[in-house]
Structure 1
Amino acid sequence: MSAMATRERILDAALQSLAEGGFEALTIGRLAARTGLSKSGLFAHFGGQEALHCAVVDAAAKRFQDAVTAPALTRRDPVERIETLAGRWLDWLSTPGLGKPCPMVQCAVSAPGLAGGAGAHAIAIRARFRPFVARLARQAAAAGRLAHITDPDQFAFEFEAIGLGAAFAGQGQDPGADLMRARQAFRTLLSGPPS
């Protein structure tokens, strides 16, 4: 198995560990046991706990990009981009092992406890999302498709708040109902204030 394939296998196991127990469960020792590799083998791939945490954050961000943001950008219509982003994000949040629990949310919540500079790295990666949504909102408003958006930054804040609310509510007793409420909240945000 090539070094790259081994690294990917390690990151897959790390993301699974993250989903099961958060960053507290993501140690070199536990990951070595899970993958059947030696601690020294893991150190050879990552160089330590901080590098491992940074690599896991990057792997989670790449999966989020592939599953959520990239499909939205394939849409030509600016409103469809935002609708696709909302739908794909909720699909991500409701898919066990993919975004349930959401590794990006776990990274942001766990940032203070991550090794070395990995916490700042997690916050920086997570901080890219809201400006991305604001940019999509500006494009839609400029195209006259969402004239009610007068403050794209506020729109992006509310959009993100709905998704984060769904991420946390989805762990509750009725995740299906919470998901339906989140979809309705996105529709309401996109339709604008009542006339």
Structure 2
Amino acid sequence: MGKGEQTRMAVLTQAAEVAARQGLGALTIGDLAARTHLSKSGLFAHFHSKEALQLDVLAYARDRFVDEVIRPATHTSRGLARVRALFEHWAEIGAHGKAECLFTSAAMEFDDQPGPVRDQLVRDHRDLMDSIAQMFRTGIAEGEFRADADPEQFAFELHGIMLAYFHAYRLLNDPRADERARRAFEAALADCLVAPQEQTQQTPDATPAAAQAR
């Protein structure tokens, strides 16, 4: 990574922290120049406009979320284990990271502000929902979730659980936020899991062969 790219990434790291606390609208070239001890002209050469800066901050946060939540989950076994891993990594970044906080606040900030930033937020959120639904589908393919379970509905419910968790944890300082989120997550899973007796029915019966062996 060259010096220019290192500088750009350092600025984006600072900008993402500001945006997570104060909103994307609070980002300005001048403020970031003061925070990073760089010239306004130097920062303008990197980002050209406030809107371009906002879009780059979203891309930075998106990459972090993929690296810290999505990619580690996909490295887990397909199916239920992968969905559980997604929840665990997501809860971790939501409680201690900045990316999810930024996306949540930005979604409320720009939900009624048409333009490129809102359009990108819509794409990012739809991509996330698609990723959740696809992980859930692997559980159906593995025979762990019911064949008639709705992947998009599960994605909707999990996203709602996580939003409630971040609200309770970060705003309300609810000491039971993690416990409540886990109970809600397990309830959503339980509604989709294949019953043990159905799993048994799907497993080839080895009894006749065992009886012949005796």
CA distance in 2, matches of 1:144, 1:184: 23
Which residue number corresponds to residue 17 of structure 2? Answer: 16
Task: Give the CA deviation at 1:84.
Answer: 0.5
- Alpha carbons of structure 1 residues 115 and 142: separation in structure 2 relative to 1, 3 Å: closer
Instruction: Quote the offset at 1:71 in angstroms.
Output: 0.6
User: What SS is found at the alignment partner of 1:170?
Assistant: helix
For residues 46-125 of structure 1, the aligned pairs below 5 Å read 46-95=47-96, 98-99=97-98, 102-112=101-111, 116-125=115-124
How many Å apart are 1:37 and its aligned residue?
Answer: 1.1
Q: Is the 8 A contact 1:149 1:155 kept in 2?
A: no
Counterpart for residue 199 of structure 2: none
> After superposition, what is the alpha-carbon deviation per residue over 1:107-126, rounded to whole angstroms, capped at 9, x for unaligned?
32222577951221122112
In the other structure, the counterpart of 1:188 is: 187
| 1:162/1:186 contact within 8 Å kept | yes
SS of structure 2 residue aligned to 1:174: coil
Unpaired runs of 5+ residues, structure 1, are none
Q: What's the TM-score once normalised by structure 1's chain length?
A: 0.90
| Shift in alpha-carbon separation, 1:107–1:58, aligned structure 2, 3 A | same
Q: Which residue number corresponds to residue 155 of structure 1?
A: 154
**SS at 1:127 equivalent:** helix
Confirm or deny: 8 A CA contact 1:50 1:114 kept in the other structure. Answer: no
Counterpart code for 1:106: S
How high is the TM-score relative to the length of structure 2? 0.82
Q: Is the 8 A contact 1:50 1:115 kept in 2?
A: no
- Structure 1 counterpart of 2:176, which letter? A
> 2:36 is matched with which residue?
35
- The residue aligned with 1:5 is 6
AA in 2 matched with 1:91: E
Report the identity percentage: 33
Measured against aligned partners, the alpha-carbon deviations of 1:57-103 in whole angstroms (never above 9, x if no partner) come to 000001111111111000123111100001111111110xx238611
